[in-house]
Amino acid sequence: MSTLQQTEVQTYRVYLKATPEQIWTAPTRSDWTQRYGYGGRIDIDTRQGGVFRQYASEAMVGPGVSMVVVEGEVIEAEPNTRLALTWRMIGDPGMAAEPPSRLTYEIGQDERGLTTLTVTHDVADAPQTAALVGGALPGTGGGWSFVLSDLKSLLETGTGVAG
């Protein structure tokens, strides 16, 4: 048996050939969320206190089935700069029993002028969620590393790594 350790705060940074506006659109509009990562649509009100829901893709649950797998609330929203929200996986009973985690998207530029997307997921007190988003659970897709790789490919080439 092996033990995988996941940190309480997971941080991922990617450099993209995309504008801050394009990057902001990717996690905030269903026409984009359905094209990368796990492909589910979302409902999000990007105002502080707004509701966030992410639905399973058809590949996960079948055509015509609408199932919320992640829910949360918007904590902060600065278009093209920062989006922070609570994030709770409710599609799995074990993870649904964990407290909500905090997910933050920060869009910026580094000292060279390259556009950056930094995703920080505070998964303290949520070990199952930490394993899922860290890509440590076999058969669950690869976590944030997969999602961000797919997003980068989609924004830069028009096609994600998964499709």
Round to whole Å and give the CA distance between 59 and 76: 31
Q: Encode pLDDT of 81-139 as tens digits.
A: 999 999 999 988 999 999 999 999 999 999 998 999 999 999 999 999 999 999 988 87
Q: Which residues of 38-47 are buried (b: 16+ CB within 10 A; e: fewer)?
A: bbbbbebebe
Q: Nearest CA to 99 among 70, 124, 74, 76? A: 124
DSSP state of 45: -
pTM of the model: 0.91
CATH number among 3.40.50.1000, 3.90.420.10, 2.40.50.100, 3.30.530.20, domain 9-37+76-157? 3.30.530.20
Domain boundaries defined on the chain: 9-37+76-157
